[in-house]
Amino acid sequence: MSMNERVANWLDNGRYADFPDNWDDKLFRAFILDRLTPETALLDLGAGAGIVPEMNFLDHAARVCGVDPDPRVVDNPYLHEGREGYGESIPYDDESFDVVISDNVFEHLDNPAQVITEMRRVLKPGGRLVAKTPNFWHYVALGATVTPHSFHRRFNAARGRDAEDTFPTRYRANTRRLLRGLARETDMALVSCEMIEGRPEYLRRWWSTYLVGTLYERLVNSTRLLEPFRCVLIAEFQKPV
């Protein structure tokens, strides 16, 4: 067993025993499930081809729809219905959904206010918008802003993700301050904005970087003062009744 494997196993089974693969999507799934009932009409904005099994809510909602510019969305196995389209012009009627979810989409938006306004339009009064996105002030997002998209595609391909599922990043809705401003601009209430740091996924490939990531994780989780530098941001908005 190599040094990388030994250190990874030691940290995975020790400090990060409660953080399985795709821990952020599993955390987001639990957050969403708390807001669903058997009668819920759910829209997944950015549903794509269905490559994230944690976003399968077919057994937890009455109606699960998805929208994505990727034409593969129409065959997404996690949806009752998938429609090709963009967040700036969601192809559904006003007040169609109780909950709208967005998993790793906000970081790609050119005009987040327009997209949130569209999400608000298709939500029923009192409906919830729940989004997970990277926090801009985390080292992963900061690093992404100073590297070309071609590097992102190669890096994600090395981690087992298809290059076609890696999209350019903008980070125009990826801090608590920006989200508060967007809530005011779109007449939505920002109910909560949680920031979470867990197992340092992007640094697990090499034992030395994994140790550095572990030290960073311990530091930013040691005090709420460093919460703005944690990795994952989960925001919940509510449409006024």
To which CATH superfamily is domain 3-238 assigned? Vaccinia Virus protein VP39 (3.40.50.150)
Which 8-state DSSP code applies to residue 67?
E
Q: Is 218 helix (H, G, I), strand (E, B) or coil?
A: helix
Give the rounded distance of the alpha carbon of 209 from its chain centre: 24
Is the model's pLDDT at 19 over the cut of 80?
yes
Mean pLDDT in the chain?
93
* Chain segment 212-237, per-residue pLDDT in tens: 999 999 999 999 999 999 999 999 99
Dihedral over Cα of 116, 121, 124, 125: its sign: positive
Percent of the chain at pLDDT > 70 equals: 92
Output the DSSP codes for 120-186: HHHEEEEEEEEEEEE-TTSHHHHHHHTS-HHHHHHHHHHTT--GGG------SS-SHHHHHHHHHHH
Q: For residue 167, what pLDDT is reported?
A: 67
For 63, the 3-state DSSP assignment is strand
> Has residue 111 got a pLDDT over 60?
yes
Angle at 25 between CA 36 and CA 3, to 5 degrees: 160
User: What is the distance between the alpha carbons of residues 49 and 164, in angstroms, rounded to a whole number?
Assistant: 11
Name residue 226's amino acid.
Answer: L
What pLDDT digit, counting tens, does each position of 119-174 carry? Answer: 999 999 999 999 999 999 999 999 888 876 565 455 545 555 564 555 689 999 99
The CA distance from 73 to 79, in Å, is: 9
Indicate if the pLDDT at residue 47 is higher than 80: yes
